Amino acid sequence: MPRLLAFLLIAMLAVSPVAFAVQPDEIMSDPAKEARARALSREYRCMVCQNQSIDDSDAPLARDLRLLVRERIAAGDSDSQVTDFLVARYGEFVLLKPRISRETLLLWLISPLVLVCGALALWVHMRRRRSTSSSDSPALALTLEEKAKLEKLMSAEPGAGQRRP
């Protein structure tokens, strides 16, 4: 019985319609323009949700941005003009994938720099660890006097030099 319920639940989830935040009254009459609007809406960040596109967000601000995108497309703006308009109004933060520019260069380079610095630190650590664990290290080497004492102790008879009770 539990397997049947699990199967039915999975089947219902698989065939359920995907819910989009776009409302029916927002959809443009021209399918080509609507497709452009949907594609652009997936590239812009919802300022309320911040990790969702305006196409997926139910926030009122996301709805306003979707309508604004559709207005700009209906006015004849190209995709880059719509993007430039939104960036001018809301800043680079509105883009889910920021453009590479002088202002965002650090954003794009910080991850590779951290990765390279981490790899370099690991490499230096491993080299130091390997060099200190080596038996040829001068700190671990015995002096001639210590070697002579060690030879003398090792060659002595067992029990010699020990006191008897």
The answer to whether the predicted template modeling score (pTM) of the entire model surpasses 0.85 is no
Average pLDDT along the chain: 81
Output DSSP code: residue 141. Answer: P
Q: Does pLDDT of 164 surpass 70?
A: no
Region 9-27: mean pLDDT is 63
Task: Give the C-alpha separation, 150 to 6, whole Å.
Answer: 74
Superfamily of domain 13-94: Cytochrome C biogenesis protein (1.10.8.640)
Task: Give the C-alpha separation, 61 to 41, whole Å.
Answer: 13
Quote the tokens at residue 105: 């260069």
24 — pLDDT class (breaks 50, 70, 90): low
Q: What is the pLDDT of residues 88-147, one digit of tens each?
A: 998 888 888 888 888 778 878 898 999 999 999 999 999 888 877 655 555 567 788 988
- How high is the pLDDT of residue 120? 96
Task: Give the C-alpha separation, 64 to 48, whole Å.
Answer: 12
- How high is the pLDDT of residue 21? 65
Rounded (10°) CA dihedral 148, 149, 154, 160: 140
Beta bridge partners of 53: 45
Region 68-95: mean pLDDT is 90
Region 41-52: mean pLDDT is 87
Q: Residue 76 in contact with residue 91, Cβ under 8 Å? A: no
Task: Give the C-alpha separation, 86 to 140, whole Å.
Answer: 67
Q: Does pLDDT of 12 surpass 90?
A: no
Element (H, E) at 120: helix 105-132
19 — pLDDT class (breaks 50, 70, 90): very low
17 — pLDDT class (breaks 50, 70, 90): very low
- How high is the pLDDT of residue 28? 77
Region 61-69: mean pLDDT is 90
